[in-house]
Amino acid sequence: MARTVAIQISQFLTEPEWQVLGEFCAKAKRLIATKVVARDESAISCKIHYTQERGMWFEATVPPEEQIAEFLMVFRFFYLEKEPTNFYKILALLGKHAQEPEAKEALKHLKAQWANSLFQTALYISLNGQPVTASLLLDLWFNAHYFHSNREKSEKLAQLNEAFTEAFSKYMLLESTYNATKTIFTLYSGLEELVNKRRKYVP
């Protein structure tokens, strides 16, 4: 059974901090509205096959390209370090004001969940001796395909897609980031009421 932990911070937050929490909730709502999230993982799946004749090969089902781009466009607000709504920054903001040991433990747990989703090795796969983690996949897909055109990373992404297929590469990316969104939504569900009450009483 899930346990609810109350964090009493309303009286300590500054106006800029309230604004950041409001932005975080607004971005979380946008993430919930993306088609990838709305379909509840139904379009994300994979199979790994092996036979003596052919060896190992990968099959994956992923959403259409425009849905992946829509999802990652919003997800980056929680992932990129320069964004004010970066997940670690929000946890740090809350941790600065949280006094209760249970609250600090809950924030620590959310931090671990986020890290486990994005920084552990995806399926324990490596390419040229380098572990394939979600953070590596995000770096390559963000900087070589979706938002930038870094030549060196484009070459690395091409190697990755050639080794595992483009669909399986996208599957690994989406499986990890989708798991990370569950941590975002856990935090959002705890902040939504707090932020809404603030908006109700402060014009």
* pLDDT one-digit tens code per residue, 161-200: 998 889 988 988 898 899 899 999 999 998 998 888 777 5
Tokens of residue 190, six digits = 């705890």
Residue 200: the pLDDT is: 58
Residue 133: the pLDDT is: 83
- Domain-embedded: residue 21: yes
3-state secondary structure of 181: helix
* Number of compact structural domains in the chain: 1
Residues in the chain with pLDDT values less than 50: 1-2
Angle between helix 166-201 and 15-33 (nearest 10): 130
* 48: phi then psi, degrees, rounded to nearest 5: -115, 120
Residue 2: the pLDDT is: 46
* 57: phi then psi, degrees, rounded to nearest 5: -145, 160
| Boundaries of domain holding 61 | 15-201
**Residue in this structure with the two tokens 């919930």, named with its chain if needed:** 32
- Domain-embedded: residue 1: no
- Asked whether the beta carbons of 134 and 176 are under 8 A apart, the reply is yes
Residue 123: the pLDDT is: 58
- Domain-embedded: residue 6: no
Q: Can you name the residues that pair with 58 across neighbouring β-strands?
A: 48
- Domain-embedded: residue 7: no
